[in-house]
Structure 1
Amino acid sequence: MDIRTEKPEDVEAVRQVNIAAFERENEANLVDRLREIPSTFSFVAVQSDRIVGHIFFSPVVVEGKCSSNLSILGLAPVAVLPDYQRQGIASLLIREGLKECARSGFQAVVVLGHPDFYPRFGFIPASKKSLKCEYDVPDEAFMLLELESGALQDCSGTVKYRSEFSLCE
């Protein structure tokens, strides 16, 4: 399994992975809208020259009290072709993606996801760091991971996703 940065020639395969994984086009359309925005990261999992998984990170902001130079990303979506699910590909994508986000100087990542899955990567409920999601979601489903220890120490407020997310529904 090879994890690498998405290339321009991967766009259609990435789209198909997201459609197959979610059984709808919403997430694929979201990735298409976000792809050209600065400070985004898109990685693919490749097996036998076939793209079988995808993960995307895009910038989010905190409305409230935070350092003005705080750089946070939102992880969404992560997708794996149905025939390749439950083989650790999503976990590999997440681990490698988080490493690259940290190497690139981002201090934290938020995710809206399954509370039994993301803690294995170090994610905790965002409320433990005085942050909440702009969407009405269960507290335990909105999580964060500090990539830089103490980055969110004096931070509180509401995490806002890019406007492109509001078109995802």
Structure 2
Amino acid sequence: MPVTVRSETEADYEAIWQVNELAFGRTAEAKLVTRLREQGAVAISLVAEQDDTIVGHILFSPVQIENPRYRGTAVALGPLAVTPPRQKQGIGSALVKTGLHHCISQGFHTVVVLGHPTYYPRFGFQPAHQLGLHCEYNVPPEIFMALSLSPNPQTKISGLVRYHPAFQAT
């Protein structure tokens, strides 16, 4: 069964809520997606469709990197959700890869993620502190990762990453 990844539409909102609720077993991430939309803080939002059913979702939202010398634009990946029966079939990977291509085409320079430390490195993410980035939240360093999309990824970005205020309620 082929999977199609495409941009979300307003008609997808209810299905996106359900995908996030099923994937996480709670409504916090679904509520976060709604808050980010309502506050105009969605940079990229994609769905994975299989057999005319939405089975996955990924969202990227703007973040601030507190560093007066940093001139790039940055986004946070998350949430990433796939319905439990469709997990471990490459749907999440397809969403991440397509999402990162969208990030590049839209001119973003850096992507950060709070996520599983063995999942995201396959896409090039590394511990954010290796790029000089630190999270505003008190989280274990191995779950805060970053990916430089700039032409010179060896350049340290450095700074404190601040998520959109919609994340505060999560």
Q: TM-score, normalised by structure 1?
A: 0.94
Q: CA deviation at 1:151?
A: 6.0
Q: Which runs of 5+ in 1 are unaligned?
A: none
- More deviation, 138-147/90-99: 138-147
Which residue does 1:74 correspond to in 2? 76
Unpaired runs of 5+ residues, structure 2, are: none
Work out whether residues 65 and 156 of structure 1, in 8 Å CA contact, stay in contact via their aligned partners in 2. no
Q: Indicate the SS of the match to 2:67.
A: strand
Query: What percentage of residue pairs aligned between the two structures are identical?
Result: 49
Runs of 4+ in 1 over 4 A off after TM superposition: none
* 1:40/1:152 CA distance change after superposition, 3 Å: farther
Asked if the contact 1:66–1:156 (Cα under 8 Å) also holds between the matched residues in 2, the reply is no
Q: CA RMSD in A?
A: 1.4
Which of 31, 51, 56 is the equivalent residue of 1:53?
Answer: 56
Q: Which residue of 1 aligns with 2:21?
A: 19
- CA deviation profile, 1:106-159 (whole Å, cap 9, x unmatched): 011000111111000000111011111111111111111111133682532210
**3-state secondary structure, aligned to 1:35:** helix
Number of residue pairs the alignment of both structures matches: 167
Distance 2:118 2:48 in 1: 23
